[in-house]
Amino acid sequence: MSFGIQVRAPGGDVTFELTSRLTTLIMSRVVGRNDSGSARLNIPGTMDFVAQAIPLDGDQHMRHVPHRLTYTASTRTLSWAPAISSDAQVSELEAWASPRRSRSRIVVFGYMPEAS
């Protein structure tokens, strides 16, 4: 270990080690299948972040589409909107070919960027 923090038990076992970067959960939020909206992200200045929209609905047809995320750097705003405009327009297709809107859990983590 060249940097970071280690905590050892009296026997010498490493019980805790943190060597590189933080992970901070900046946002975790469930949005409804038809919802769109935006939020300002409060990301600590030295941190990078990752935003994911994870679908919460699913079936064996593998057709649920989570929200589309857009980040505006100038305003630090994360926006989300359903990735497909309407369920109804594709409802006539076979189930496997018919995308469905899904509720999404939007998760934003902050972490220290890697050295480059």
Partner 1 sequence: MSWGVETQGIFGRLPIDQDFDNLIFRKQGSRWLSTGYHVLTLESRGVASLVVAARHPGLDVALLSYTNDAYGTTGVRLYVRGSGRFYWRTYQDAYPLPANGWGMIVYSASGKQTFHSDHRYADVKNSRYYIGSSRLPMRGHYYLLNSPATPTFEYETQNNSWYYDHRSWEQTGTRQVYRQVYEYNCRYEYVYDYSSGRYVNQRVCGYSYVYKWVTEPTYGYVVVGYTVHAEAKVLCTKYITLVRHHADDYVSEIRHRTHNRATAYFWATSYYDSVSPAWNGESWVYHQFNPAYQGHLKWLASPSYAGITGHSNKLVMLR
Interface residues toward partner 1, by CB under 8 A: 2-5, 7, 9-10, 15-25, 28, 44, 46, 48, 50-58, 60, 62-66, 68-69, 83-85, 89-90, 92-94, 96-99, 102, 105, 107, 109, 111-115
- Give least dist CB 58 to partner 1, A: 4
For residue 84, what is the DSSP state? S
- Give least dist CB 74 to partner 1, A: 20
What type of residue is 51? A
- Give least dist CB 92 to partner 1, A: 4
CB 22 within 8 A of CB 16: no
Residue 78's closest CA among 52, 41, 47?
Answer: 41
Pick between residue 40 and residue 97 the one whose CB is nearest to partner 1. Answer: 97
CB 102 within 8 A of CB 32: no
